[in-house]
Amino acid sequence: MKRTSLNTQIWLGALAGILLGVGISLLGTESAVSQAGLYLAELMGILFIDLLKMVLIPLVFTSIAVGVANLRAHHQMHKVWKATFGFFMFSMALAIALGMTAAHLVRPGEGLQLAMFQDTVNDFQATHVLPSEFVARLLHSLFQNPVAALAQSNVLAVVVFALLLGIALVVGGERYSNILVLLQELLELMLMLVGWIMRLAPVGIMALLLKLAATQDTALLMKLAEFVAMVIATTLLHGMVVLPLILYIVTGMSPLKFWRGAREALITAFATSSSSATLPVTLRCVEQHLHVKRDIAGFVLPLGATLNMDGTALYEAAAALFIANLAGIELNLMQQMIVFVTAMLAAMGAPGIPSAGMVTMVVVLQSVGLPAEAIAVLLPVDRLLDTFRTAVNVEGDMVGSLVVQKLVKGDQHGT
């Protein structure tokens, strides 16, 4: 009963936020009422995200360490590894293929030229990174001093350290059982805090969406309408057809049942545009509503939040083809394959924070010699697109945890 009412409140909050935001933008952002409304929304939105971020790092650390320690105990670790990475690569490859196919069919950007956006492009300085440098940086960011990583909220490095600690806990066995119990209890406490924070979710989500709707640059949106509509439609296709289909084929779970369990996390991802900030909610949904075991969820979800990004991968590939059209460059087959691979790398390398995909997109563009400055054209519409792609990123992680659980369990029955 209580759960239903929180869900309803979240939906109502989201709806109210969008309507109020549109109202404010019609009123004009200069009016005193609008400014007061925007200020309040900003405060409440930041508070909600800060609270989620507050529990994020201890939650990621404990859930991975405990998850791995328990997995090893069941001798399942290698199966979970393989299934997890297999699923991540497979679903991202499908997303990229979808994005590229759509870009070929719709051919967005034809009829427009980069020169039409010269002002935006001139004001923007892209940081140039070669794909080889990008891979080196990505590898380097994996292994960091854990104290620094924890303090700087470097999720990927925390994940790696917690993985190693989890393995050491198993190898060490009984001798370190006190630490394992300590971590387990810490994890339970963090989940309790997440439960409290979620009571604020309706207001937080309303505030975030209000601000987004009120400050959207509609003029540029119209100019790029075709591209924006194409990206949103294909992202939704991936989220509403491809991912549920994989889930149904592997686990037999109906999409409705999945969405009912997943909606809190999906709306939070949509409103925050951050897979990392949503992670506490994702873990809660998957464990409590979708009944994935804590060991599996604690392993797949934190990894997925930084590495598995279907929505981002789709966007990076589609946007690269769009920019090629704008620049009047025809990409050959080889170059398109490079876009395919670098889009996957760039999505994996993007941290789960707002607009991260925009930054790593430079890698995709440069790999085929497209002008990196052209992403300036996309910046004004990025906040809008980020909502949909983050929701699909998080959906992919949740589907992944269910698929991995089924594959590992299925395997066990077989042997």
Q: Which stretch binds ligand ASP (CB under 6 A): 87-95, 165-173, 323-331, 382-390?
A: 382-390
- Sketch the per residue contact string, 104 through 133, with ligand ASP: x for CB under 6 A, - otherwise: ------------------------------
Q: How far apart are CA 234 and CA 321, in angstroms?
A: 14
Q: Does the footprint of ligand ASP cover residue 342 (CB under 6 A)?
A: no
Pick one of 37, 352, 380, 400: the residue that binds ligand ASP (CB under 6 A). Answer: 352
Helix (H) or strand (E) holding 14: helix 2-27
Q: Which stretch binds ligand ASP (CB under 6 A): 162-170, 284-292, 387-395, 404-412?
A: 387-395
Q: How far apart are CA 292 and CA 285, in angstroms?
A: 9
Q: How far apart are CA 350 and CA 363, in angstroms?
A: 11
User: Which is nearer to ligand ASP, 202 or 304 (by Cβ)?
Assistant: 304
- Sketch the per residue contact string, 290 through 329, with ligand ASP: x for CB under 6 A, - otherwise: -------------------x--x-----------------
C-alpha angle 273-278-279 in degrees, rounded to nearest 5 = 140
| Cβ atoms of 83 and 404 closer than 8 Å | yes
Q: Provide CB contacts within 8 A for 349, sequence distance 6+.
A: 134, 137, 138, 360, 363
Q: Does the footprint of ligand ASP cover residue 386 (CB under 6 A)?
A: yes
What DSSP assignment string belongs to 75-104? T-HHHHHHHHHHHHHHHHHHHHHHHHHHHH
- Sketch the per residue contact string, 256 through 295, with ligand ASP: x for CB under 6 A, - otherwise: -----------------xxx--------------------
**Least distance (Å) from ligand ASP to the CB of residue 386?**
5
Q: Does the footprint of ligand ASP cover residue 390 (CB under 6 A)?
A: yes
**What b/e string do you get for 152-182 counting C-beta neighbours within 10 Å, with b at 16 or more?**
eebbbbbbbbbbebbbebbeeeeebeeebee
**Least distance (Å) from ligand ASP to the CB of residue 309?**
5
Q: Does the footprint of ligand ASP cover residue 350 (CB under 6 A)?
A: yes
- Binding region for ligand ASP (CB under 6 A): 273-275, 309, 312, 350, 352-357, 386, 389-390, 393
